[in-house]
Amino acid sequence: MSSVAANKSPRAWQRMLSGRRLDLLDPSPLDIEVEDIAHGLARVARWNGQTHGDYTFSVAEHSLLVEAATSDIEPSLPKEFKLAALLHDGPEYVIGDLISPFKAALSLDYHDFEATLLAAIYHRFGVPADLPENITKLIKRADKIAAYYEATGLAGFSHEEARRFFGPPRGLCAALVNRLSQLSPLPAAEGEARFLKRFHELAK
């Protein structure tokens, strides 16, 4: 092997369909486009694809549920924080959705890497990178509520198991509970379109 080849750094960027080239180790907000995020998240499977239905249940669909739960719990929440909820799993458009047991086995470096990407995404769309603690807790609560209904409705968990791992889903209006109790995975193109539609409603 030549010294040139030996010293060559591995590629750390990914080219997006928009034409942007995102450096994963040093992500620039200028290289982030919501169309790339929506396209990617709509094609990343939650639960490693271990869900019922003709289609995978995507991270884009999950993100919509988290934003809906966040907005339902706190209807007067400013749009920027609702947008933060919608984009909370944004990094997964390039790094995928690692299931929680695998994340737990990795070093803290992974979480730092994910946090750096999320900060760049938030910066790109005018969301504070350092969210107030109450907003972070609210989004996490909504995330667990969404996970509960996904687990029981799509991923084969019993209600007892889901309550043990995610806690009981409390504080939602009846209409949203009904929606969450009847989850049905969407084709990728539809999940992408719904994500983009909600993004543009919140980004106005």
Query: What ranges in 125-173 are assigned the alpha helix state H?
Result: 133-153, 159-166
CA distance 133 to 114: 18
106 within domain boundaries: yes
Q: Is the dihedral of CA 56, 175, 92, 162 positive or negative?
A: negative
Dihedral angle computed from the Cα positions of residues 107, 110, 112 and 116, in that order, rounded to the nearest 10 degrees: 170
DSSP type of residue 186: P
pLDDT of residue 103: 59
What is the residue type of 37? Answer: I
16 within domain boundaries: no
13 within domain boundaries: no
pLDDT of residue 4: 45
Q: What are 97-143's pLDDT values in tens digits?
A: 665 655 565 555 667 888 999 999 999 999 999 999 999 999 999 99
pLDDT of residue 9: 65
167 within domain boundaries: yes
Which CATH number fits the domain that encloses residue 112? 1.10.3210.10
- For β-strands 21-23 and 13-15, DSSP reports them as antiparallel
Q: How many domains does the chain have?
A: 1
22 within domain boundaries: no
Report, as ranges of residue numbers, the positions in the chain whose pLDDT lies below 70. Answer: 1-9, 97-110
20 within domain boundaries: no
Enclosing domain of residue 158 = 30-202
DSSP type of residue 10: P
Q: What is the pTM of this model?
A: 0.90
pLDDT of residue 24: 85
Please list, in sequence order, all residues whose beta carbon lies within 8 angstroms of the beta carbon of residue 194, skipping any fewer than 6 positions away: 60, 61, 64, 186
Cβ proximity of 21 and 38 under 8 Å: no
CA distance 51 to 46: 8
172 within domain boundaries: yes
114 within domain boundaries: yes
Q: At how many degrees (to 10) do helices 59-73 and 133-153 cross?
A: 120
pLDDT of residue 74: 97
